[in-house]
Amino acid sequence: MRKLAVLIFLNLMLFTAVAQQRPHYSQYVQNMSVLNPAVTGLNSGKDLRFGLRTQWQGLENAPKTSYVSFSMPISFGGDMANYRSNDLGVTEPQTRDDSFDYTASMPHHSFGALFINDKAGPLNRMTGNFTYAYHLAIGDRANLSVGVGLGLNRLGLDAQSLIFDEPGDPVVANAGQINKFTPDLNAGVYFYSANYYIGASMQQIIKNKLAFDGAFNTGKEVAHYFLTGGYQFWIGNDFSLTPSVMLKVVSPLPKAFDLNLKFAYRDIFWVGGGYRKNDAFFGNVGFNIAKIVGVGYAYDYTTSQLRTASSGSHEISLRLLF
């Protein structure tokens, strides 16, 4: 029984004290929907994305995260019925000349979905959110969007993978998967134009208790606050350099931040990297094909004390834009 309590405590600490209630991402700049529901329907067309991340390779039972996101702008009729489809959402400029011609999207509604599966040892967390955002034009070249995500969490404990000092422990005897379902609510705002963006979001607004069948009440969910921003500088007509930053606040942990730098050629190919405070340096590379398919890869070099046991983290992503 003691070993079970220790195991659950350590894993809940992984989800709380190490801020793993929400996964790390190294390619969130390419898919901000994992942080902020206000980006739902930002781009013209139907936007489908997949991601897979293996955290801290070499460390047994380290987190593994996968996600699927989808979003699209919607016309409800009325005045919007007269909009052309490419008036709803924006197209990212590929060149400096494109940025001069950039115009804000018409005001519109957007709907989407985000599904995340995050597994760490015997704990598995699945989150499904339906997202909504409204995009308002601010002048001719900027938009302000406000978004919410509402859904459900399933926190599961695989009791069969636990080892006990006393066989047949009565607490989880004959138990396979123990599940706890809780509501999930996120919200955010996003201000964007041709060359810059500023966003703020809050995840886990509902602070649910972390417990299994009332037997273990060792923790609770905590709110995660994110502040993001970036600016794109053009080098000639075809090349761009985009520094960006993300500030993350998860009480009672110290404030954390990511610094990123992306170098791109006409939004066809990009390479970049960044630093996550007290955690890792990371690099990423990616390319787009015919503005329809995008592929990305990121590698994290661990700088924390886990570097003695971990060879780093890997993350791949795929985007389909219809």
| pLDDT 10s digits, 161-214 | 666 555 555 555 555 667 888 899 999 999 999 999 999 999 999 888 776 655
Region of 115 please: left (phi>0), alpha (psi -120 to 50) or beta: beta
Mean pLDDT of 66-74: 94
Instruction: Give pLDDT tens digits for 16-67.
Output: 434 456 788 899 988 899 999 999 999 988 999 999 999 888 777 788 999 9
Indicate whether 234 pLDDT > 60. yes
Q: Describe the chain by its helix, strand, coil percentages, rounded to 5.
A: 15, 50, 35
The closest of 288, 286, 284, 308 to 298, measured between CA atoms, is 284
Which helix (H) or strand (E) is 77 found in, with range?
Answer: none
Question: Does residue 3 have a pLDDT over 70?
Answer: no
**What is the band of 84 on the pLDDT scale with cuts at 50, 70, 90?**
low
Res 18: pLDDT: 43
The pTM score is 0.85
CATH number for the domain whose boundaries are 24-321:
2.40.160.40
- Tell me if 143 sits within 8 A of 135, measured CB to CB: yes
| Pair 201, 187: CB distance under 8 Å | yes
Share of the chain above pLDDT 70, in %: 81
CA distance 286 to 88: 26
Task: Answer yes or no: are the C-beta atoms of 43 and 89 closer than 8 Å.
Answer: yes
The span from the CA of 132 to the CA of 134, in Å, is 7
pLDDT of 157 over the 60 cut = yes
CA-to-CA distance for 36 and 20, rounded, in angstroms?
17
Residue 216: pLDDT over 60: no
More confident residue, 17 or 244: 244
Q: How far apart are CA 184 and CA 206, in angstroms?
A: 6
Summarised one tens digit per residue, pLDDT across range 264-322 is 999 899 999 999 988 889 999 999 998 889 999 999 998 887 777 777 899 999 999 88
Greater pLDDT, 78 or 271: 271
Query: Has residue 107 got a pLDDT over 50?
Result: yes
Has residue 10 got a pLDDT over 70? no
